[in-house]
Amino acid sequence: MTFGEKFKAEREKRKLTQQEVADALGINRRMITRYENGISFPRTKDAYRKIAEYFKVDVNYLLTEDEEFVVQASEQYGSRGMKQAKDLIEGMSGLFAGGTLSEQDKDAVMKALQDIYWESKARNVEKYTPKKYKKTSTDAEE
């Protein structure tokens, strides 16, 4: 189940309207629609936490591994990182559309790709950050 499906199921289980949930969470109804249709999702873990508290569910229930990866990319690298993470996941999902891999194998490949993504991001920060912005060992001691 995706975040949107879980969100909608929790809302409907409690017989709440989209507007009631939107008012309680402090967002507009259009965003609730976008969540439920899988068009958008919360950008931060705090937003997921707020939704989980409202629905009285565990935050891990709301997050799939892919969604957690995108949220982490968004928090660490902003909207560009979020877009890159989404593109990576969507591209990989297209590769698996033929259904020749087991779910366990698909998960292993996605995990490996996520690890590669984080490694490359870290290397790029090291490689492309100007010297004046890099932390040195003397900076850490201060």
Determine, yes or no, domain membership for 9: yes
Quote the CA–CA distance of 86 and 106 in Å, as a whole number: 16
Determine, yes or no, domain membership for 111: yes
The model's pLDDT over 36-57, given as tens digits with 9 standing for 90+, comes to 998 888 878 788 889 999 999 8
pLDDT value of residue 64: 67
pLDDT value of residue 100: 64
Determine, yes or no, domain membership for 105: yes
Quote the CA–CA distance of 85 and 42 in Å, as a whole number: 15
Determine, yes or no, domain membership for 139: no
- Bigger pLDDT: 135 or 124? 124
pLDDT value of residue 61: 78
97, pLDDT greater than 60: no
The answer, as to whether pTM is greater than 0.85, is no
Domain range spanning residue 88? 64-100
Q: Rounded to whole angstroms, what are the CA distances from 49 to 44, 55, 67, 80, 123?
A: 9, 10, 14, 23, 31
Residues 45 and 21 in one domain: yes
The residue type of 5 is E
Residues 69 and 58 in one domain: no
